[in-house]
Amino acid sequence: MSPDQLAFFILSFMVIASGLMFLVSKNIVHAVLYFLVALLATAGIFLQLKAPFLAATQILVYAGAITVLILFVVMLTISKEPEVKVFGQTGIVGPAIAAVSFFAIMAAVVSRSTFTPLPAETAGIDQAQTVAQLGMELYVEYLLPFEIAAFLLLIALVAAVYIALGRGHDAT
Amino acid sequence: MPLESYLLLGAAVFAIGLFGALSKKSAILILLSVELMLNAVNINLMAFSNFITPLTMKGQIFSIFVIVVAACEVGLGLAIVLMLYRRRQTLEVDKYNLLKG
């Protein structure tokens, strides 16, 4: 087994195992931390897929920003009684059927398809150049979507502040 | 590793997120399950980017925008969660039943 395969198996085991622990853990803070482990292992998968910039972004945005934000909200909304039930009224049978059948369909589709690289793209790629190349692509060819995404972030920020302030509403 | 194994990993993570989003009781954990599903989409995009278009990296560009939208979604979702908690003093989605007939 090559080191590449070994790394893939370890990382995907970490992703799936911590995802399952995220599903079953009773403590909400533990669930958030398992979620964090799954995202960090996904960053390792991104490194394997020759996407170092995306791996760094994944760690910065998810581990650095989103998880801390979620832990703050967990602290702000701490409930009086300890959480005893993990799953809601829906039960687990229906969701389990949905998830398992989704995975089965995807596995069937993937195993029946053949994927070939685009003819113009078969030349090898240099790992060291990818970040510079990605920056050129993003700021030259995709400049307008980039600016729109920045504006979307601004709108979401303003809206989040407005909603969270909740002016003029009483607790009912 | 072949492309198929990455796609299967993405499908598995998406299935875990789907199960969590449908079955979890806490509103925060439902939000996190949706994040897990977006993350599975990112794995797929990155795998296709690496195997199908390795030179132009279209999948990586696309996943940058997916991450931006996911960050927006978490910010807004957590604001809504805070507002819901202030109004109903609970985060259990089963208790939000004002529209129940």
| Nearby residues of B53 by Cβ (< 8 Å), 6 or more positions away | A117, A118, A121, B59
Give phi and psi for A166, each to the nearest 5. Answer: 60, 50
| Nearby residues of A30 by Cβ (< 8 Å), 6 or more positions away | A21
The one-letter amino acid code at A7 reads A
- When scoring B8, B34, B55 by the number of chain A Cβ atoms within 10 A, the one with the most, hence best to mutate, is B55
Task: State how many domains chain B has.
Answer: 1
* Structural domain span for residue B63: 3-90
Give phi and psi for A118, each to the nearest 5. Answer: -60, 145
As a whole number of angstroms, the distance between CA A117 and CA A122 comes to 6
Q: Does the structure show a pLDDT above 80 at A84?
A: no
Question: Is position B57 within any domain?
Answer: yes
Cβ of residue A22 closer than 8 Å to a chain B Cβ: yes
Direct distance between the N- and C-terminal alpha carbons of chain B, in angstroms, rounded to an integer: 53
Residue A35 CA: distances (Å) to CA of A70, A134, B52: 11, 28, 29
Query: Contact at 8 Å (CB) between B6 and A44?
Result: no
Query: Contact at 8 Å (CB) between A37 and A10?
Result: no
CB contact under 8 A, B50 and A49: yes
Question: Is position B99 within any domain?
Answer: no
What is the DSSP code (8-state) at residue A49? T
> What is the architecture of the domain spanning A1-79?
Up-down Bundle (1.20)
Lowest mean pLDDT: which of A11-15, A41-45, B88-92? Answer: B88-92
As a whole number of angstroms, the distance between CA A128 and CA A52 comes to 9
Compute the mean pLDDT over every residue in chain A, rounded to the nearest whole number. Answer: 85
Query: Contact at 8 Å (CB) between A51 and A32?
Result: no
Q: Does the structure show a pLDDT above 90 at A50?
A: no
Query: Contact at 8 Å (CB) between B58 and A138?
Result: no
Mean pLDDT comparison of A105-119, A152-166, B3-17, highest-scoring range = B3-17
Query: Which 62-81 residues of chain B touch chain A by CB within 8 A?
Result: 63-65, 67-76, 78-81
Q: Which residue has the higher pLDDT, A64 or A37?
A: A37
CB contact under 8 A, B49 and A42: no
Q: Helix or strand or coil: residue A126?
A: coil
Please list every residue in chain B whose beta carbon sits closer than 8 Å to the beta carbon of residue A134. Answer: 57, 60-61
Q: Give the model's pLDDT for residue A122.
A: 55
pLDDT average, residue stretch B6-19: 94
Q: Does the structure show a pLDDT above 70 at A169?
A: no
Cβ of residue A24 closer than 8 Å to a chain B Cβ: no
Q: Helix or strand or coil: residue A142?
A: coil
* Radius of gyration of chain A measured on its C-alpha atoms: 21
Q: Give the model's pLDDT for residue A158.
A: 92
User: B43: domain CATH number?
Assistant: 1.10.287.3510
Domain limits, chain A: 1-79, 128-172
Give phi and psi for B24, each to the nearest 5. Answer: -70, 155
Question: Is position B43 within any domain?
Answer: yes
* Nearest Cα to Cα of residue A81 among A153, A158, A28: A28
Q: Which residue has the higher pLDDT, A122 or B70?
A: B70
- When scoring B16, B34, B66 by the number of chain A Cβ atoms within 10 A, the one with the most, hence best to mutate, is B16
Question: Is position B52 within any domain?
Answer: yes
Compute the mean pLDDT over every residue in chain B, rounded to the nearest whole number. Answer: 89
Q: Which residue has the higher pLDDT, A51 or A129?
A: A51
pLDDT average, residue stretch B32-55: 90
Buried b (16+ CB within 10 A) or exposed e, B61-72: bbbbbbbbebbb
Q: Does the structure show a pLDDT above 80 at A123?
A: no
Cβ of residue B97 closer than 8 Å to a chain A Cβ: no
Q: Which of B12, B22, B28 sits opposite A103 (nearest CB)?
A: B12
| Nearby residues of A45 by Cβ (< 8 Å), 6 or more positions away | A8, A11, A12, A15, B6, B9, B43, B46
Query: Which 54-73 residues of chain A touch chain B by CB within 8 A?
Result: 54, 57-58, 61-62, 65-66, 69-70, 73
Question: Is the dihedral angle over the CA atoms A92, A98, A104, A106 positive or is it negative?
Answer: negative
Q: Could you report the predicted ipTM of this complex, rounded to two decimals?
A: 0.91
Q: Give the model's pLDDT for residue B56.
A: 76
Neighbour count for residue B2 (Cβ, 10 Å): 10
Q: Give the model's pLDDT for residue A171.
A: 47
Cβ of residue A77 closer than 8 Å to a chain B Cβ: yes
